[in-house]
Structure 1
Amino acid sequence: MNAPVDAIVRLTDLTLGYRRHPAVHHLSGGFREGSLTAVVGPNGAGKSTLLKAVVGALKPFDGKVTLHGLTARDIGYLPQQAEVERDFPIDVLDTVLLGHWRRVGIFRAIGRALTRQAEEALAAVGLAGFERRPIGALSAGQFQRVLFARLLVQDARLILLDEPFTAIDARTTADLLDVVRRWHGERRTVVAVLHDMEQVRAHFPDTLLLAREPVAWGRTDEALNPANLARARMMAEAWDDKAEVCRRSSS
């Protein structure tokens, strides 16, 4: 699969894994600037692994990730809730204010203007009045709203969301989908790992269907056709988790 000419993230024969066990094989393509893309596939298909490679948290075994016109401060990454530490004694407002640190540095004082931005972000996700609540006292849905508010403050051009709507209520999901649509309207590039196919069809124009290897990447109605979904299931059934990651030179 060739990357579009306006790709802000370009993947070239990308192969990823952990301790030589396979996760993603020979993925090529790209995310267009301003696109809204779902990454879907069977459990263990390499979806979360791909986001970690894009954000720079995982080094490829082979191939490469190329970011065009982006620096680390331009990328907002929301991992799965299970990976986020909630025991740290910090309140809601201070958690959202952390979204400023890449732009202002960790030693610069946060002034009233930046605090106001954080308060406005909390209001935008329906949490006005929650500023001084400890994050440990929040429900899963409320905490996810806080993390979305932090992304709003970060003002990133590329936003990576790993299962952002898992284990939260329908009202919260609807409100956070409104935030995703806002980002899309602002021409930010949004990539989200998702499991709900109806949600993908309703809200995400583009889809990458991944089963460790790419199955389809393009318009959602084409990528999620019955033949592609059946192929992804068959590929998942044939996985050998004891196999080593193969290498193929991209030069």
Structure 2
Amino acid sequence: MTKVPILQVENLTVAYERHPAVHHVSGAFHAGSLTAIAGPNGAGKSTLLKSIIGELRPSEGRIIHALNRADFGYLPQATDINRRFPISVLDTVLLGAWKSAGAFGRITTAQLEAGRHALSAVGLEGFEKRPIGSLSAGQFQRVLFARLLVQDAKVILLDEPFTAIDARTTRDLLDIVARWHGEGRTVIAVLHDFDQVRAHFPQTLLIARELVGWGATDEVMSSVNLLRARAMAERWDENSVICEPAA
């Protein structure tokens, strides 16, 4: 069966003050694939994901796709989310309905039912009226996954989705990731746990600012590649590498 690219990365460089966090990366995510972005700390994993979603602009190269913004579902790192905002669990989940409701549209009965069903699917039935600030880290992550369920996106981007949550919640959310994959959605997740990568993600993009490997997980996550990625990360000099724009 022919694999169809849904999103291509072409010679992508993303730099902060001309110091590259991602450097000349090229490759393709195929429709319906389940891919982990892995690598050492500071390897550019989250930067790559933010470039795909459009939060960061490339310094060089480009992201190629024929998707609309509404086709993407994005879960940022938990530290990037303000949980002090006075909003209920159900209202947070219903933010995933913006694609059909619009910025100022009214939530329909069907959307309310979808929100409640999504909360039930993540194990939070009965939590609808609770403020999000009262939730544990694991409960809040379940809420964000419920929001993605309501959003019903073609491409789902997850940035460190299992960090600082309990093992049971991780298992439950991994089941949802597997469900998305089974439905033919394209799922891309930044992960730091290599055991999770090997156990649950058939494709891996291994990066250490530069691309180390991209393909089948059992091939990419070899001991040789992991040692190479670590060595690349350790020898990268933040102060000496300047990324000049192409002529």
User: Is the structural similarity TM-score above 0.5?
Assistant: yes
Distance in structure 2 (CA, Å) of the matches to 1:88 and 1:73 = 24
Q: Taking structure 1 as reference, are residues 180 and 25 closer, same or farther at Cα in structure 2, changes over 3 Å only? A: same
2:209 — aligned with what? 212
Alignment of 1:142-157 (within 5 A): 142-157=139-154
RMSD: 1.3
Distance in structure 2 (CA, Å) of the matches to 1:239 and 1:31 = 27
Distance in structure 2 (CA, Å) of the matches to 1:209 and 1:245 = 23
2:109 — aligned with what? 112
TM-superposed CA distance for 1:18, in Å, is 1.5
SS state of the match for residue 157, structure 2? strand
The one of 99, 121, 125 aligned to 2:122: 125
Q: Is 1:47 matched up with 2:45?
A: yes
TM-superposed CA distance for 1:76, in Å, is 0.5
Contact 2:8–2:26, Cα closer than 8 Å, also in 1: yes
2:65 — aligned with what? 67
Supply the AA of the counterpart residue of 1:43. N
Alignment of 1:96-245 (within 5 A): 96-245=93-242
Supply the AA of the counterpart residue of 2:38. V
Supply the AA of the counterpart residue of 1:60. P
TM-superposed CA distance for 1:111, in Å, is 1.3
> Unaligned 5+ residue runs, structure 2?
none
TM-superposed CA distance for 1:35, in Å, is 0.2
SS state of the match for residue 107, structure 1? coil
Distance in structure 2 (CA, Å) of the matches to 1:31 and 1:226 = 23
Supply the AA of the counterpart residue of 2:74. Y
- For normalisation by structure 1, the TM-score amounts to 0.95
TM-superposed CA distance for 1:108, in Å, is 1.2
Distance in structure 1 (CA, Å) of the matches to 2:159 and 2:22 = 16
2:87 — aligned with what? 90
185-194 or 238-247, larger mean C-alpha shift: 238-247
Supply the AA of the counterpart residue of 2:224. A
Distance in structure 2 (CA, Å) of the matches to 1:108 and 1:131 = 20
Identity %: 63
Distance in structure 2 (CA, Å) of the matches to 1:5 and 1:197 = 25
